Amino acid sequence: MRASITLLVLLFSICGAQTQSTQTEVQTEGQSTGAAAAATAAAAAAEVEALERTKVGALERVTAAQEAELTAVRTRLATSEAEVMNLTKENAALETRLAATVTDVEDLKMDSAAHEQELAALKTRLAASKTGIDDLKKENAAQKAELTAVKTRLAATETEVDNLEKITEKSKVAFSAGLTRSGWVVSGDTDLNLVFSRIITNVGQAYKGTGFFTAPVRGVYYFRFTVVDLLASQEMQIRMYKNGQMLIRLYEYDTDGKRTYLSSGLTLLLEVGDEVNLRIPPGRRLYDHYCCNESTFSGFLLFPL
């Protein structure tokens, strides 16, 4: 704007100088040229005025463009300032977040250190637990082995108990039997096996109806017998056998015809299946009353082995 005003002042000065020079020349040369000079001055003035108008229009357009540009610059400046303000706020927020992040990082570092310590402690405990587990496994294996041994011993004990129960059951052995209800028992030309048919007691069923006692278990047994006869000048005799082998023989001779008794007993070690029985030799007899069991055969197990 100042440049435009300066230019106008300069033009006016030039025009004034030219006009003054023309007037001087006109005065010097005379009045004849006055009209021409006046016309020239008028033309120059018109030209200057037109030039001034042109320059003023140009200056106005430049000024308007500059004002528009200045307005745009102001708008951009306001926008930039707003952006700067926003960026400042964002920067402040970022700084706050950064500070918080730094704090969080420090906290995380502290937590990480604490976690590392805790992890180290856990590893130590884990190692101790593994050692304890290994010890427990060994102890468990030992207990399993011991349990297996105990089970084996228990099975053996149960088997032994079962056997003992069977033996105990079988060891309940005792019998007593009378000879007969028919009076006389007489042998012929051979030995006669005595069948004591009047069963009084037969616990364990070891005494058979054939006159034989069969040992159900290995053990020590006691046997006793008593027999009677009415002797009239003849011999009375009885024998005890084990598995066909004679163990004892008793005899008596009398002539009065009254009752004569033979009685004895033995303690025997018998194996399972051993047999014990009584016999009379050929030509001999025994007597038993039908009501009184005067001739008897008894036995029982003292203890098993």
Vertex 300: Cα angle to 292 and 263 (nearest 5):
50
Amino acid of residue 220:
V
Q: How many residues does the chain have?
A: 305
Q: What's at 19, amino acid-wise?
A: T
Domains for the chain: give ranges and CATH numbers: 173-304 (2.60.120.40)
Could you report the per-residue pLDDT of 106-159, keeping only the tens digit for each?
Answer: 888 888 788 889 988 989 898 998 898 888 899 889 999 898 898 989 888 787
User: Mean pLDDT across the stretch 98-109?
Assistant: 82
Q: 């059951």: which residue's tokens? A: 169
176, 222 contact by CB (below 8 A): no
Q: Tens of pLDDT along 194-237?
A: 999 999 999 999 999 899 999 999 999 999 999 998 877 788 89
Q: How many CA atoms lie within 13 A of 87 on its CB side?
A: 6
Q: Count of alpha carbons within 13 Å of 210, Cβ hemisphere only? A: 7
Best CA proximity match to 258, nearest among 238, 280, 228: 228
**CA nearest neighbour of 40 among 22, 58, 24:** 22
Residue 290 and residue 169: Cα distance in Å, rounded?
34
